[in-house]
Amino acid sequence: MKINRELLTASFCFAASIFAAPNAAFCAPSAEKAERLAAFAAEGEDALADRLLMHWHTHATDVFVRDERVVGVGGPRAAVSTVMFDGCRSHVTDFKRPRIEDLPRRFEDPRGLFLEPKDGGARQWAPYGRLGTIVCSINTEILGLALDAADDHPALAWRVLDTYLKGILARNIPTDLNRGHQQTLFGMQSMETIHDNTLPKACALYAALKEWVAANHPDDLATYQAALKKWAEVQIANGVADNNWDIMQLNNILDVAVVLEPDSSYADGKGRGHYLDVVMNRSSVRNLSVRDLCAKGFDQDAGTWWECPGYSLVTLKDLAKFAAKIRDVAHIDLYDDIPVLKKAFAAAGEYLFPDGMTIGFGDTHPSPLPDEITAVARPHTSPFFYSPNASWLVARSGMDAASDVAFALNAALGNHMHANGISMELYARGYRIAPDAGVGWALYSGDDYKEYYSRYPAHNTVMVCSRSDFSPMKCFQPFKLEAHGRDWATVSFRDPATGAQQLRTVAYVKDGKAAFFVDVFRSRIPGGSTSGDEWHDYYYHNLGDSIVFNGETKPTDIINFAESGLYSLSYIKEKEAMEGERDLDAVFRWKRQDGEIKTRFFMNGAPGRVFVKAFAPATEGLSRVKSPDYSITRDSRTPLIVARQQGEAWHRPFMAVIDPSGEVESVSFGENGDALSVCLKDGRTLSPLAGKTAW
């Protein structure tokens, strides 16, 4: 198969535009970057290569990792300098990444890097195990700069290519001293195959310099190809099949394939054709072909991917990238070849709340749809949408950010999911008033993720006997959609920790100026608790600074670690309780620069019920959203109401009316959750549960 240089140029430039990274092969550098490259070239042809983070002196071939951190290097001394491996799996570090210009040339020191702390102060030695992903970031930037230098300063660029690829070929895959799952994830530059960000840069740099190398250093071509083939084999052997990892790995393997020679050029028969066949057709334990990936990962009817929204959109974006490259280099139209993809890109709009950003469950940070998705298809939103293969649904009154309302429900089926039972998110007045808590400040590598953000108390749900919990991430705990209308849904769920039966009905009402939500949650352990002590806790988080109850509250010790031994309960602070025999009328207050936003929360009282107001950790999931400005930092707190029902909560369900519009005057709760009357300030009375008694 002949590689077309013009098509290859477009392919790599397309990849560069997706990641907004330093420009890829054949994309002309900006004037500012050209000046920067000229300054490096003036230092000599080794100026960029010498700043790569390599084992310049030790020529270490082995890297040793424990607890996702590099703890040492060694092994037989290689004939050439070898590539330094990333220090950590997590990106979190206390140190600032240095400029390339400020790096000492040919630097290697067992103490790490001499860096400035992020919080200020004098430079200090930062051990490699505390560098986060700085090593990969620096090497990626240098390869990108070399890519930009390929036309005007080919010798400068070649020295980077030569040093880096020979250093990859001479070094071994790292060793996990824990002898655990991490061993199956390693790339050659990073702790995860999918974050080997230097690989596509190295492929593009090789493609850009191939003719120049053939004319000036022809004997090195085979060495560079051997390094890239080795890297492709690592991408096939390691990683995770069937989720977002897989398409990232396929893109990396495809990058290698397009710059290799035909299969007949290699003794092992593995060249361009072989690796194209791998990405399209040949599945293995840790690497599914794109055809098998799409057959397994997408709901063939709904078009939705089986992961949380954040990772679903990442997968679609990477599929768009893959489709563009495979079209250009192999003349395959992926959208015709795999019909579900057209449906999947169109269905991407179903993830959106009226603010135009994705709903927030699982390991998700709400965000708009990427341009790559809207470029492929015109996504649409439906008034009601249900995704069976990821167990979520959403109901929207419309898509006007300021005036429309919406709710979303999710359980935990698929990847990057949380232990959350039936979780609820609410949108009104232009804000996610009842949000999902997020992922945590160090993503899923952090203790706060493992202990709180991925657990029940971080979600708007019901926890049974303080024991409701299961392993987050890859989950198999869906709800069942029992019934629904345009503006309401009833779902059922079995709590895996306690065997409790749960049934939740959520509805929105938008009538004139009035806009509010109704939530009826039933929960019980069939036959009662085996310990003879049963209780159910209804958790509701709302944006705000404070909560006001319609009665006296006193400090309380309930909801604590000792109740079950779950760490998540230790994150609930400043708890004050009020007896719950009578109905609750509470107000969440949220002070904004343009005035105060209030959300009124009504809940039925019941025998054996206690209402608790408290504070939970910051809603980290919204910390990245700049418009609207939620002003969330690590020090922020999320106001929380917990209603504890001693005994069953089936015949004494939790019934809530949540009013962000300020138009509800009062609420009358019927017995056993069978009726509800909402009196509006304009004098009208509504019965929002009429026709919605699916139980």
Q: Cis bond leading into 379, ω under 30°?
A: no
C-alpha torsion angle, residues 455, 461, 463, 469 (rounded to 10): -30
Percent of the chain with pLDDT over 90: 91
Strand-pairing partners, residue 649, are 523
Residues in the chain: 695
Task: Tell me the per-residue pLDDT of 392-449, one tens digit each, with 9 for 90 and over.
Answer: 999 999 999 999 999 999 999 999 999 999 999 999 999 999 999 999 998 888 999 9
Q: What letter does residue 513 receive in the DSSP assignment?
A: T
Report d(CA 656, CA 506) in Å as an integer: 10
With 0-12 / 13-18 / 19 or more C-beta atoms within 10 angstroms meaning exposed / middle / buried, residue 120 is exposed
Tokens, residue 329: 């280099």
Q: Which of 442, 400, 448 is nearest to 571 (CA)?
A: 448
Report d(CA 23, CA 145) in Å as an integer: 8
The mean per-residue pLDDT over the stretch 576-594 comes to 95
Where do the structural domains in the chain lie, given as residue ranges? Answer: 5-298, 383-686
Looking at this protein, which amino acid is placed at residue 247?
I
- At residue 102, does pLDDT exceed 50? yes
Contact by Cβ (8 Å): 149, 26:
no
- At residue 20, does pLDDT exceed 60? no
Exposure string for 186-207, b = 16+ CB within 10 A, e = fewer: bbbbbbbbbbbbbbbbbbbbbb
pLDDT of residue 24: 38
662 Cβ partners below 8 Å, 6+ apart?
598, 600, 681
- At residue 13, does pLDDT exceed 50? no
Contact by Cβ (8 Å): 16, 24:
yes
pLDDT of residue 18: 31
pLDDT of residue 673: 63
pLDDT of residue 11: 42
* CATH class as words, domain 383-686: mainly beta
pLDDT of residue 17: 36
Please provide residue 182's backbone torsions phi and psi, each rounded to the nearest 5 degrees: -55, -30
With 0-12 / 13-18 / 19 or more C-beta atoms within 10 angstroms meaning exposed / middle / buried, residue 629 is exposed
Q: What letter does residue 531 receive in the DSSP assignment?
A: T
Report d(CA 71, CA 279) in Å as an integer: 34
Contact by Cβ (8 Å): 259, 285:
no
Looking at this protein, which amino acid is placed at residue 64?
F
Exposure string for 389-408, b = 16+ CB within 10 A, e = fewer: bbbbbbbbbebebeebbbbb
Task: Tell me the per-residue pLDDT of 156-190, one tens digit each, with 9 for 90 and over.
Answer: 999 999 999 999 999 999 999 999 999 999 999 99
Task: Tell me the per-residue pLDDT of 511-531, one tens digit each, with 9 for 90 and over.
Answer: 999 999 999 999 999 988 777
Mean pLDDT for the chain overall: 94
Task: Tell me the per-residue pLDDT of 31-89, one tens digit each, with 9 for 90 and over.
Answer: 899 999 999 999 999 999 999 999 999 999 999 999 999 999 999 999 999 999 999 99
Tokens, residue 458: 């971080």
- At residue 6, does pLDDT exceed 60? no
Percent of the chain with pLDDT over 70: 95
SS3 394: strand
Task: Tell me the per-residue pLDDT of 608-636, one tens digit each, with 9 for 90 and over.
Answer: 999 999 999 999 999 999 999 999 999 99
Exposure string for 445-468, b = 16+ CB within 10 A, e = fewer: ebebbbbbbbbbbbbbbbbbbbbb
pLDDT of residue 346: 96
Report d(CA 407, CA 508) in Å as an integer: 7
Report d(CA 556, CA 575) in Å as an integer: 6
pLDDT of residue 14: 38
**pLDDT-derived band of residue 491, with 50, 70 and 90 as boundaries?**
very high
Exposure string for 219-232, b = 16+ CB within 10 A, e = fewer: ebeeebbebbbbbb
- At residue 481, does pLDDT exceed 90? yes
The mean per-residue pLDDT over the stretch 482-494 comes to 97
Please state which of the ranges 13-17, 518-522, 637-641 shows the lowest mean pLDDT.
Answer: 13-17
Task: Tell me the per-residue pLDDT of 183-230, one tens digit each, with 9 for 90 and over.
Answer: 999 999 999 999 999 999 999 999 999 999 999 999 999 999 999 999
Place of tokens 């898509």: 399
Tokens, residue 178: 């824990």
Report d(CA 610, CA 337) in Å as an integer: 58
